[in-house]
A and B are shown apart, each in its own frame.
Chain A
Amino acid sequence: MTRSSRLAGWLLSLALTALGLMLVTFLIGRVMPIDPVLAAVGDRAGADVYERVRVELGLDQPLWRQFLTYVGQVARGDLGHSTLTARPVLEDIARVFPATLELATCAMLIGTALGIPAGVLAATHGGRWPDHVVRLVGLAGYSVPIFWLGLMALLLFYARLDWAPGPGRVSAHFEGVVEPVTGLILIDALLAGETEVFRDALAHLALPAMVLGLFSMAYVSRMTRGLMLEQLGQDHIVTARAKGLSEARVVWRHALGNVAVPLVTVVALSWANLLEGSVLTETVFAWPGLGLYLTNSLLGADMNAVLGGTLVVGAIFVGLNLLSDLLYRLLDPRAAG
């Protein structure tokens, strides 16, 4: 395949994914027994206001026309207005997504930095105590409800030990000090030269990032362990050992080097999962991110926001898949062909 046909294929799959997502979300929005006009105007509005808003929202049109109108808008980059916040959905997402991005990226870094070594350790010590410890931690990360974990972390590190600050992105007295530029508060604080705010924001980030990071670590370490076990049984590892290479070199370079490619996908997928927004973590830590926004929109029958948010999440998934494809080609000469 040539490069341009690959690109065309990718764009086509993106467009089809987006269209499918839109159709399904749109239909779900229509079958929900919630009146979107009511959601917009409230319980006390008179019949005239109700009718005006119904027409404003285009709900007097037939269903297929509503859908076509929506697709046309999206194609022009307009995701419509949210009824809950009364702002353009794109603006809302641009506001809430950086909070999730910041948290998810830190969690992904923590999860990867701990998960890969842990997975390797477990694989090389298969069946002995390091393996058991890693598997136990992994199991905990998977099965303990993250909501409970978050609350316990707050109780212990915030309420009891005073090591960490409370929920929220910054302390109350730093609210509004830094004007949002990127929306990533760490970067905005540095850009504004507010080191106090930077430290405060970093401190607020640490606890939720570690809680989510544990979750991500559980996945990464398990996958690493599996891939490594498979590698360590291969002939070329036996050969490397027979040639007298140090065990560290055999494990970290030859074996891990070979699983680096699938690991990229693992890490990218785990990152994508985190980027959808972790509703429960965001709720416990009062973190105003995408997960909270999407949940609120769904419960509030704010279909423009739900559709817009779903599209963004879908695009992230497709984008990260593409990114890991590209990395594949870089890391694995066979795939570059």
Chain B
Amino acid sequence: MKRLALALAAVLALAVPALAAPPRDMLVMAWRIDDMIGLDPADAFELTTLEVIPQIYDRLVEYDPADVTRIRPMLAESWTVSEDGRVFTFTLRDDVRFHSGASMTAEDVVFSLRRAIKVARAPAALLGQLGWTPATVDRMVRVGFGPRSVVIETDRPYAPAFVLYLLTADVASVLDSALVIGNQVNGDLGQAWLKTNSAGSGPFKLRQWKPAESVLLDRHDEYWRGTPPMKRVVLRHIPEAATQRLLLEKGDVDVARNLTPEQARGLRADPAIKIGASRKSNVWYLSLNQKRGPLAKPEVRQAFRHLIDYEAIRSTILEGHALVRQSFLPEGFLGAIDDKPFAYDLDKAKALLAKAGYPDGFTVTMDVRNAAPTTDLAQAIQAGAGAAGIRIEIVPGDGKQVLTKYRARNHDLYIGQWSADYQDPHTNADAFAANADNGEGAIVKSLAWRNAWDIPEMTKATNAALIEREPAKRAAAYGAIQRAHQADSPFVLMFQEVEVVAQRADLDGIVWGPAIETNLYWKAAKRQP
């Protein structure tokens, strides 16, 4: 027994650690990354994956994170659009090298876009909107005149901005075709290999990914926009927010991503830490299933708009993590309207309910994801509606459970969060203001479908805006759709998300853009103390 105690003491003595903060050329981030299932750009739709892919891969074009309406060149230095609006010809840069050292050519671009369609994972649907299918994509995406020219065709003449925005998405990343083909197994187009390896031209290359543990990125010294200051980026899976805060305060991580509002508040006084906020293109909404009697009445839809105390919820529950937003396009999008006509107004809501034939209210359920801040939001809405006699019974559930019910249109009320897939207004218009077929067997099940909202006229308007090629007219069209949607729809738009990031004060240069894909690390650098 004594010997054991001695051995234990010896072990503990040896373990007194040589503690060290991360080196200056290493960026360490604490983040919940357990949603990541692989790093293949053609199969990326989890939040963390969507952010990591653009650190490794480049695309033909990108948008300015400071102004999403400005699309600018990336791997393509210029492009032209044909007279009929269906053919885009891109001219590529000639100075881009992949991590392997190979030069990027039109072959690589064509291979990557075709591959995204052919592997047919969920994100393929984005590019599929251009009419590309595994059968047609070889014809519609091709090498043009010379090794630096890429030609893409669309099935219809869409608004050019729509096509370009789709090409800014992660799924349109450009891969090193020779490397991917060299690593394919049984003709899988490299799917198995790309889950854990990278073949990009971006500022970092993937060194290692351990699921729910860490992602290591190493610098690409020959990055065409210049060598990044950071030699390595480490993303560590730290599930507990309190732990993230401790690590940040001690300087063992440079950035903490999942702090709660009160933790962020607690850090504001610390001079070694700075808190940043960036507007994200995610919106919060409450939706009313139109299959449920009372909820289908226009006056009830109106009443709900006046039963939410937007300002109180923003300032107390979402505290700095959201802005009030009452239209379905996030701030900064083409055609987005900033009108906020609604505020909490009990008398007005009561009058509307009486007019609808429910002077004493009614009882409904609300499916709520069992996670902060959704549960708090639900309680605030419950209290607000309760004052007018609407008794809301909250049904909590795990995220996937609640979503299963929502997708099957079995809910009454639902609190949703919707993130734009790309920065073109069509992404949200298509979700909130289009429903081509309200039947049970519909092929496209938009958010409007999920709430059984049958809107042939508005669907027509949304489809017309998609092919409007004149930007000013197009913006006006989306403005009109949003106003109609705001005035009467089963959606009560409430907030736009603000991402709050806490980082060490000596760290500069990370871009926190409007979408998770435009959070960019490559200019990150630590100042000398």
| A15-23, A39-47, A216-224, A262-270: which lies at the interface | A39-47
In the complex, A288→B214 CA distance in Å? Answer: 10
Give the nearest-CB partner of B36 in chain A. A85
B-contact bits for A55-89, CB 8 A (1 contact / 0 none): 00000000000000000000000000000111100
B102 in contact (CB, < 8 A): no
B-contact bits for A161-191, CB 8 A (1 contact / 0 none): 0111111100111011000000000000000
| A1-9, A30-38, A128-136: which lies at the interface | A30-38
Give the nearest-CB partner of B213 in chain A. A288
Are A202 and B239 closer than 8 Å at their CB atoms?
no
Are A85 and B211 closer than 8 Å at their CB atoms?
yes
Given contacts A34-B404, A200-B17, A202-B14, contact A286 B45 (CB under 8 A): no
| A233-241, A292-300, A311-319: which lies at the interface | A292-300
Are B240 and A283 closer than 8 Å at their CB atoms?
yes
Given contacts A117-B1, A159-B250, A164-B17, contact A172 B26 (CB under 8 A): yes
Are A162 and B216 closer than 8 Å at their CB atoms?
no
Are B398 and A296 closer than 8 Å at their CB atoms?
no
Are A167 and B238 closer than 8 Å at their CB atoms?
yes
In the complex, A177→B234 CA distance in Å? Answer: 13
**Chain A residues with CB below 8 A from B240, complex form:** 283-284, 286
Are A166 and B247 closer than 8 Å at their CB atoms?
yes
- Residues 403-453 (chain B) with a chain A CB within 8 angstroms: 403-405, 407, 421, 443-445
Number of A-B contacts (CB under 8 A): 156
Given contacts A32-B401, A110-B8, contact A172 B16 (CB under 8 A): no
Count residues of chain A with CB under 8 A from any CB of chain B.
62
- Residues 187-212 (chain B) with a chain A CB within 8 angstroms: 195, 207-208, 210-212
Distance of A186 from chain B, by nearest CB (Å):
10
Give the nearest-CB partner of B121 in chain A. A49
A154 in contact (CB, < 8 A): yes
Distance of B12 from chain A, by nearest CB (Å):
7
Are A166 and B14 closer than 8 Å at their CB atoms?
no
In the complex, A154→B12 CA distance in Å? Answer: 17
A95 in contact (CB, < 8 A): yes
In the complex, A159→B17 CA distance in Å? Answer: 14
Given contacts A86-B37, A176-B207, contact A167 B243 (CB under 8 A): yes
**Chain B residues with CB below 8 A from A102, complex form:** none
Are A47 and B403 closer than 8 Å at their CB atoms?
no
B400 in contact (CB, < 8 A): yes
Distance of A119 from chain B, by nearest CB (Å):
12
In the complex, A92→B234 CA distance in Å? Answer: 21
- Residues 267-309 (chain A) with a chain B CB within 8 angstroms: 283-286, 288, 292-293, 296, 299-301
B272 in contact (CB, < 8 A): no
**Chain A residues with CB below 8 A from B407, complex form:** 35, 38, 43
Contact of B250 among A47, A166, A199 (CB under 8 A): A166
Are B405 and A33 closer than 8 Å at their CB atoms?
yes
B135 in contact (CB, < 8 A): no
**Chain B residues with CB below 8 A from A44, complex form:** 45, 122, 125, 421
Contact of A172 among B5, B28, B37, B401 (CB under 8 A): B28
Distance of A274 from chain B, by nearest CB (Å):
17
Given contacts A166-B252, A176-B216, contact A95 B18 (CB under 8 A): no
Given contacts A86-B37, A283-B239, A288-B210, contact A113 B11 (CB under 8 A): no
Given contacts A44-B125, A49-B122, A173-B23, contact A199 B15 (CB under 8 A): yes
Given contacts A151-B242, A154-B246, A175-B216, contact A165 B211 (CB under 8 A): no
**Chain B residues with CB below 8 A from A86, complex form:** 37-38, 195
**Chain A residues with CB below 8 A from B20, complex form:** 171, 173
A326 in contact (CB, < 8 A): no
A203 in contact (CB, < 8 A): yes
Given contacts A34-B398, A173-B22, A173-B26, contact A288 B237 (CB under 8 A): yes
Are A155 and B246 closer than 8 Å at their CB atoms?
yes
In the complex, A283→B252 CA distance in Å? Answer: 18
Are A301 and B122 closer than 8 Å at their CB atoms?
no
Are A41 and B122 closer than 8 Å at their CB atoms?
yes
Distance of B119 from chain A, by nearest CB (Å):
11
Contact of B400 among A92, A117, A168, A301 (CB under 8 A): A301
In the complex, A286→B190 CA distance in Å? Answer: 32
Distance of B357 from chain A, by nearest CB (Å):
33
**Chain A residues with CB below 8 A from B211, complex form:** 85, 87, 92, 95
In the complex, A268→B11 CA distance in Å? Answer: 23
Distance of A32 from chain B, by nearest CB (Å):
7
A327 in contact (CB, < 8 A): no
In the complex, A331→B444 CA distance in Å? Answer: 69
Distance of B236 from chain A, by nearest CB (Å):
6
In the complex, A319→B22 CA distance in Å? Answer: 42
Distance of B48 from chain A, by nearest CB (Å):
13
Distance of A95 from chain B, by nearest CB (Å):
7
Are A95 and B247 closer than 8 Å at their CB atoms?
no
Distance of B314 from chain A, by nearest CB (Å):
25
In the complex, A43→B208 CA distance in Å? Answer: 28
A320 in contact (CB, < 8 A): no
Are A206 and B12 closer than 8 Å at their CB atoms?
yes
Give the nearest-CB partner of A49 in chain B. B122
A142 in contact (CB, < 8 A): no
In the complex, A46→B123 CA distance in Å? Answer: 10
B4 in contact (CB, < 8 A): yes
**Chain A residues with CB below 8 A from B4, complex form:** 113
**Chain A residues with CB below 8 A from B405, complex form:** 33
**Chain A residues with CB below 8 A from B1, complex form:** 113, 116-117
**Chain B residues with CB below 8 A from A286, complex form:** 236-240, 243
**Chain B residues with CB below 8 A from A95, complex form:** 210-211
Give the nearest-CB partner of A33 in chain B. B401
**Chain A residues with CB below 8 A from B343, complex form:** none
**Chain B residues with CB below 8 A from A164, complex form:** 17
Are A39 and B400 closer than 8 Å at their CB atoms?
yes
Contact of A171 among B45, B242, B252, B400 (CB under 8 A): B252
Contact of B404 among A38, A113, A293 (CB under 8 A): A38
Are A49 and B400 closer than 8 Å at their CB atoms?
no
Are B239 and A203 closer than 8 Å at their CB atoms?
no
Are A84 and B18 closer than 8 Å at their CB atoms?
no
**Chain A residues with CB below 8 A from B113, complex form:** none
A-contact bits for B484-499, CB 8 A (1 contact / 0 none): 0000000000000000
In the complex, A92→B17 CA distance in Å? Answer: 30
B58 in contact (CB, < 8 A): no
B472 in contact (CB, < 8 A): no
Are A166 and B16 closer than 8 Å at their CB atoms?
no
**Chain A residues with CB below 8 A from B8, complex form:** 109-110, 113
In the complex, A166→B400 CA distance in Å? Answer: 32
Please report A residues at the B interface, Cβ cutoff 8 Å.
32-35, 38-39, 41-47, 49, 84-87, 92, 95-96, 109-110, 113, 116-117, 151, 154-155, 158-159, 162-168, 171-173, 175-176, 196, 199-200, 202-206, 283-286, 288, 292-293, 296, 299-301
13 residue pairs from A and B, CB less than 8 Å apart? A34-B400, A42-B45, A47-B445, A49-B125, A95-B210, A113-B1, A159-B246, A172-B234, A200-B17, A204-B17, A285-B243, A286-B239, A296-B34
Please report B residues at the A interface, Cβ cutoff 8 Å.
1, 4-5, 8, 11-12, 14-20, 22-23, 26, 28, 34, 37-38, 45-46, 120-122, 125, 195, 207-208, 210-214, 216, 234, 236-240, 242-243, 246-247, 249-250, 252-253, 397-401, 403-405, 407, 421, 443-445
A87-B211, A116-B1, A203-B16 known; 8 other A-B pairs, CB under 8 Å? Answer: A32-B401, A35-B404, A46-B122, A47-B443, A49-B122, A165-B17, A173-B20, A196-B18
For the complex of A and B, 6 pairs with smallest distance between CB atoms: A203-B17, A35-B404, A288-B213, A45-B122, A172-B28, A202-B15
